[in-house]
Amino acid sequence: MSSLRINISKLSEGHHHYSLSAEASEIGLDERFQKSVAVEADLEKTNRQMLLQAEARAAGEFVCDRCLDQFRMDVTSRHSIVYIQGAEPPDDLAEFEEVQYLPLDSNMIDLGEDVRQFLILSLPLKMLCREDCAGLCPVCGTNRNKSSCSCAMDEGDPRWAALKRFLEN
C-alpha cells in the first residue's frame, strides 16, 4: 500500500474528494522525479461501483534530447478508473479508460501504481528544455542556447541543411 490510498470501508454513496501526497520513490518513480507527488482525487460512489477521477502533479529534472542540458519540468496526469466490488461488469463501461475489480471485502484502494503509470505516460516523447532549443553545434559541440561559436555554418549549403535536419529529429 502506498500513501496514495483511499479508505472505502464505510464510504457513503455520493461524491468524495481527497487530497493525497506521496514520495515519488515510494510509488516507484525513477530518480528524475523530485520528492513529492500530489494527487487530487474525486470518488463518486454508487451501489457497488466507484468512479475515480484523479489528477496527479509531479516535477522532475530531465535531460534535453537536443542540447543535453538538465531542465526542470512539471508533469501532470489525469486518469479515470471505475472500481467494481464483486460484481459482474455492466455493459455501459466501455466509455471509461479502465475498469478494476475489487474483492467484496476490500476496504482500501491504492492509487500508487496507476498514478506512476499515468505520470510516465504523460511525459513527452521528445524531451526539450524549451520549444526552440537551439541544440549543440554539430561541429564543435557548443551549446547554442548559451553561446555562439565561430564554426562556419553556411545554412544555404545543402549538406549542412541535411545535417541540421538530422540533428533536429
Q: Which residues bind Zn ion (CB under 5 A)?
A: 64, 66-67, 129, 133, 137, 139-140, 142, 149, 151
Task: Count how many residues are written for the chain.
Answer: 169
CA angle centred on 160, ends 154 and 164, rounded to 5°: 115
3-state secondary structure of 128: coil
Q: Please say which residue, 93 or 139, places its beta carbon nearer to Zn ion.
A: 139
Q: How far apart, in whole angstroms, are the C-alpha atoms of residue 11 and residue 25?
A: 29
We find the least distance from the C-beta atom of residue 107 to Zn ion, in angstroms, to be 47
Q: Which is nearer to Zn ion, 91 or 131 (CB)?
A: 131
- Label residue 143 exposed, middle or buried (CB < 10 Å: 0-12, 13-18, 19+): middle
Q: Is residue 49 within a helix (H) or strand (E), and if so which, with residue range?
A: strand 49-63
Question: How far apart are CB 35 and Zn ion at their closest, in Å?
Answer: 24
Residue recorded with cell 464510504 = 11
Shortest Å, Cβ 123 to Zn ion: 16
CB 27 within 8 A of CB 112: yes
Minimum distance from CB of 1 to Zn ion (Å)? Answer: 39
Output 108 or 139, the one with its CB closest to Zn ion: 139
Instruction: Quote the least distance from Cβ 162 to Zn ion, whole Å.
Output: 17
Minimum CB distance to Zn ion smaller for 122 or for 143: 143
User: Would you call 41 helix, strand, or coil by DSSP?
Assistant: strand
User: 93 with 82: CB under 8 angstroms?
Assistant: yes
Among residues 22 and 129, whose Cβ is nearest to Zn ion?
129
